[in-house]
Homo-oligomer: A and B are copies of this chain.
């Protein structure tokens, strides 16, 4: 994906989060930035850093993670081109976690001053950015459930579902390239690499996924969803891009039981 294409897809994503006008779009596309290459495994931000800018992922994948005092790593999220990967660190002044390049990445570093004045001058963009961080938070909540209350098998199914939505928007190709090692998957699921290996084999034995190298093929989306207990409501896809992801969301009606009796 090229720089220009990523910028445009980012603008399109924000359109779904707040109605932008021409001036907003122009302001986004004319942001000053410094393009940079970040090699695989290099850090984009480290816990304790005081970022001086916001980093937009242009190409490649990045992850957030934390390391416990015991030395264990927990991966917190995965990010795709078009995501600001350390906006919260900038706004909170100090990074409370690490951001690392999962693959070779191209990033655009926007100076903090430019972000600040964008937020001040363009309330609708500020709102879109806010919603962006709120969706991240929603995904964090689901990950708490994933590591806390699902066994390794369902949690792996769930992760495969989420990655499908993020890496193969619309689920049109029936699969996606997942450039994570089993050790990294283990750190995302809160288990050991050995156990991930066995769980992936189980998934494959039950034909919930098929693997060719690190390409994940999903032969039966409905079955995988069911095994995962996956409900994409938490991804707030309707606010990701206008009219995207057709066909997704049918099952969300189950959760839509508004209880008007209480507050």
Chain A residues close to B by CB (< 8 Å): 36, 38, 42-50, 55, 64, 66, 68-70, 72-74, 76, 88, 91-94, 96-97, 107, 109, 119-120, 123, 126-127, 130-131, 133-138, 140-145, 147-150, 154, 189-190, 229, 231, 233-234, 236, 238-239, 252, 255-259, 262-263
Contacts and interface: CB of A to CB of B under 8 A. Distances in A.
Given A97-B141, A135-B92, A259 B126 contact: no
Given A120-B123, A130-B133, 7 more contacts: A50-B258, A66-B145, A72-B149, A73-B149, A133-B133, A136-B137, A137-B137
Contacts of A133: 130, 133-134, 137
B92 A36 contact: no
Contact of A141 (B66, B109, B236, B259): B66
Residue with the greatest number of chain B CB neighbours at <10 A, chosen from A126, A154, A255: A255
A258 B50 CA distance: 7
B236 A96 contact: yes
B38 A263 contact: yes
Nearest to A93: B239
B109 A263 contact: yes
A37 to B, nearest CB: 10
27 contacts: A36-B263, A38-B263, A43-B259, A46-B257, A46-B262, A48-B252, A48-B257, A48-B258, A55-B263, A66-B141, A69-B229, A72-B149, A88-B137, A92-B131, A92-B134, A92-B135, A96-B233, A96-B234, A97-B141, A97-B234, A123-B126, A130-B130, A130-B133, A133-B137, A140-B141, A144-B147, A148-B148
